[in-house]
Amino acid sequence: MREFLERFSEINPRIIYLVMACALIIPVLQPIGLPIVVDEETTKPVFDWIENSKPGEIVFFDVSYGGGSNAELSPQLEAWFYHCMQKGLKAVGVAQWETGAMIAGDLLKKVAAAAEADGYSAEYGVDWVFIGYKSMIWREMREDLWKTCGNTDFYGNNFEDLPLMQKVRQWTAETSKAFIIFEAGSPGVGTYLVNWADCDIYVGCVAVNVAGNQSILRSRQIKGLLAGLGGAAQYEKLLGRPGDATSLMDAQGLGHAVIIVLIVLGNISYILKKKNG
């Protein structure tokens, strides 16, 4: 055993990859059903914001992520957007990342179709609009959203033809008091902290950004935070509509357990090797 532990730090990385792959694949095939606990300080405020909004209220959202963050942030966007449609809110989306626009362009249509199939109104142009990626000239957007966006949405529609956009000429606190940004880096929430400080800002971020965003959550610059895949799973639980995030949390948990074991073994190996000189 001692010899195994001493030689553990020299293990072939491919064996670790294999162990990790098994730890992740098995729970995906055969879910264990680990409990998901809703965080009252981060996830709950985001859910409560939508839950307590009145039907017809306008909410903005920003899709600022790419393929690398798709697995974490798309389940967040999916759950949040479905919730908006369920509550009869009017959602208007932009993207600071081109890749975010590409991902959301397809995803939103899929979620809207699912919401309609469940009996909720989710008609494009009436209940939601996705403006997509634009040159984010923020000051101008506040004053004249139409012109800044060239009067065109992501799907090539003219704003004139979209009834919802008749109510959204500007992007100010009067149009929409609160919005959410799904972000994976820069440009991200910083844009809004500077230019939309008069609005209630909510964030859905990748796990790696959680530590950084805690400081702006604590200082109440943002009102709520969806943290990685776990945040998405918690939102799905609150919504009562389990989706991709819920089904993957078992694998996530088991993956973490494997990493903890590897860290402990690696440290024991390091200490033993140091002792032996």
Among 1, 15, 117, 194, interactor with another protein by CB under 8 A:
194
Report the C-alpha gap between 102 and 167 in whole angstroms: 25
Q: Is 99 in the site for another protein (CB under 8 A)?
A: yes
Which residues on adjacent β-strands are paired with residue 59? 91
Instruction: Give the list of residues 6+ apart from residue 169 with CB closer than 8 angstroms, or none.
Output: 144, 145, 146, 175
As given in the structure block, the two tokens for residue 41 are: 């300080």
Q: Is 230 in the site for another protein (CB under 8 A)?
A: yes
- Rounded Cα distance between 26 and 23, Å, is 6
Residue 7: CB minimum distance to another protein, A: 22
**Nearest-angstrom CA–CA distance, 114 and 133:** 24
> Any contact of residue 152 with another protein (CB under 8 A)?
yes
Contact between 109 and another protein per CB under 8 A: yes
Q: Are strands 90-95 and 178-183 parallel, antiparallel or unpaired?
A: unpaired
216: number of Cβ within 10 Å: 16
Q: Does 133 bind another protein (CB under 8 A)?
A: yes
Q: Verify binding: residue 259, another protein, rule CB under 8 A.
A: yes
Cβ nearer to another protein, comparing 50 with 217: 217
Q: Is residue 132 near another protein by the rule CB under 8 A?
A: yes
Cβ neighbour number for residue 268 with a 10 Å cutoff: 15
Q: Does 226 bind another protein (CB under 8 A)?
A: no
Binding flag, residue 218, another protein (CB under 8 A):
yes
Q: Cβ 46 to another protein, closest distance in Å? A: 18
28 binds another protein (CB under 8 A): yes
Examine residue 17 and tell whether it contacts another protein (CB under 8 A): yes
> DSSP alpha helices (H): ranges in 93-148?
98-117, 138-143, 145-148
Residues 33-72 that bind another protein (CB under 8 A): 68-72
Residue 207: CB minimum distance to another protein, A: 4
Contact 153, 131 (CB under 8 A): yes
Phi, psi of 140 (to 5 degrees): -70, -35
Among 42, 64, 209, 234, binds another protein (CB under 8 A): 209
Residue whose pair of structure tokens reads 């943002």 in the numeric block:
222
- The footprint of another protein (CB under 8 A) covers 14, 17, 24-25, 28-29, 68-72, 74, 98-99, 101-102, 106, 109-110, 132-135, 147, 149-152, 154, 156, 190, 193-195, 197, 206-212, 215-216, 218-221, 228-230, 244, 247-248, 251-252, 255-256, 259
